[in-house]
Amino acid sequence: MSNQLPLLEMGALPPEVVDQHDKYCVPGGEQYQQRMVAQTSIIAFSDPNDLLSYAIPQQFAQRRLDSRLCAEITNININVAHVIDLFGMGKFANPLTAHTGYDSDDRGTEHTSDIVTERCEWTEYVD
């Protein structure tokens, strides 16, 4: 389980309010004025060839995130590793590249859309 979700839950108390998205997050809901924020976007990127990652299940937000956060989960599958035809026996991608290749993927450089360039700030972390 390479995804960070288990790490985020370690030592944390369960949220007070769960599985009540509509009450808190839909205009006109019973508790709409008591929400913490208008919306929390959670976007998870993963390469389908990465053996150590997985999509965030929608039930995760329902059971493990406070409903007052109005969490919306979006899973994005993107091929970071190049897929090749393996001698006509099927398609193959290097699972290590699929797991670690995000920082060298060229779609984050000169191919970046204008809206991303205008609205996003790139923060590089160095080990």
Three-state DSSP class for residue 55: coil
The 10s digit of each residue's pLDDT in 35-59 is 999 999 888 888 888 887 778 888 8
Q: What is the pLDDT of residue 35?
A: 94
Q: What is the rounded average pLDDT of the residues 6-34?
A: 89
More confident residue, 67 or 126: 67
Q: Which of 4-13, 39-48, 108-117 has the highest mean pLDDT?
A: 39-48
Q: How many residues does the chain have?
A: 127
The 10s digit of each residue's pLDDT in 84-106 is 887 888 888 888 888 887 777 76
Q: What is the pLDDT of residue 74?
A: 86
How far apart, in whole angstroms, are the C-alpha atoms of residue 53 and residue 99?
8
Residue by residue, DSSP assigns 20-32 as: -HHHHHSTT-TTG
